Amino acid sequence: MVEALIAELTEHNPVLQRIKRGEAISADEADQLAELLHEEHPHITEDLLRQVYKNRKAHFLQFIRHILGIEVLKSFPDEVSAAFDQFIRAHTTLSSRQMEFLNLLKNFIIEREKVEKKDLINAPFTVIHPQGIRGVFSPSEINEILQLTEGLAA
């Protein structure tokens, strides 16, 4: 519905036409565009777009550019999966238990959209080892994993 509305409005709206051409717009113009969409359909909000596109970090204009086909917007699950895949490729000596832990962590983050350090020593991570992450990875590896998770949850 949002995509159809954007396509329809692009024919007549100069701000949308400028976005489609890849030109920059001001914050005021972005606000006016958001207001216009809200007037057309009151339930179209940045929060709704974040839910629909499963991306809680993107901003209004990123969604508009994505809808217009100018910018590719990854969903949160796709971002998390790509980050974990990259981490695993960079750490070629991981054991099967470590891989299992990372897979569990990836799914945990996708499901809950966040993870705290204390979560890593509690269930469900204690299923893999009673001490959670501490029983599976070295302190330096734990720090790398925490950096990865903090980057995803930011």
Mean pLDDT, rounded, of the chain: 92
pLDDT recorded at residue 45: 85
Residue linked to tokens 């901003």: 59
Counting beta carbons within 10 angstroms of the beta carbon of residue 132, is it exposed (0 to 12), middle (13 to 18) or buried (19 or more)?
A: buried
Clarify whether residues 63 and 80 are in a common domain. Answer: no
The candidate with the shortest Cα–Cα distance to 102, out of 60, 132, 122, 70, is 132
* Structure confidence by residue, pLDDT tens digits, 62-86: 999 999 999 999 899 999 999 999 9
Do both 80 and 144 map to the same domain? yes
Tokens matching residue 81: 């999966």
Measured CA to CA, the distance from residue 90 to residue 84 in angstroms comes to 10
Whether cis (ω within 30° of 0) applies to the bond prior to 139 is no
The pLDDT tens digits of the residues spanning 31-41 come to: 999 898 888 88
Examine the domain organization and report whether 81 and 114 are in the same domain.
yes
As a whole number of angstroms, the distance between CA 57 and CA 140 comes to: 28
Q: Per the confidence metrics, is the pTM higher than 0.75?
A: no
One domain, residues 60 and 128: no
Residues 83-102: tens digit of each pLDDT: 999 999 999 999 999 999 99
Say what percent of the chain tops pLDDT 90. Answer: 71
Cα distance between residue 151 and residue 153, in whole Å: 6
Query: Residue 4: its pLDDT value, please?
Result: 87
Query: Would you place residue 19 in the very low, low, confident or very high pLDDT band (cuts 50, 70, 90)?
Result: very high
Q: What is the mean pLDDT of residues 21-31?
A: 92
Choose the final residue of a domain: 24, 40, 67.
67
Task: Tell which of 31, 47, 67 closes a domain.
Answer: 67
pLDDT at 154 over 80: no
Q: What is the mean pLDDT of residues 131-146?
A: 96
Neighbouring C-beta atoms of residue 71, cutoff 10 Å? 15
Do 149 and 82 lie in a common domain?
yes
Q: List the domain range (segments joined by +) for residue 37.
A: 2-67
| 53 and 92 inside one domain | no
Last residue of a domain, one of 48, 67, 86: 67
The rounded distance, in Å, linking the Cα atoms of 15 and 1 is 20
Q: Does one domain contain both 95 and 45?
A: no
Q: State how far the alpha carbon of 46 is from the alpha carbons of 30, 103, 140, in Å.
A: 12, 30, 38
Number of domains in the chain: 2
| Claim to verify: residue 106 and residue 133 sit in the same structural domain | yes
Cβ within 8 Å of residue 125, ≥6 positions away: 101, 104, 105, 108, 119, 132, 133
One domain, residues 84 and 19 = no
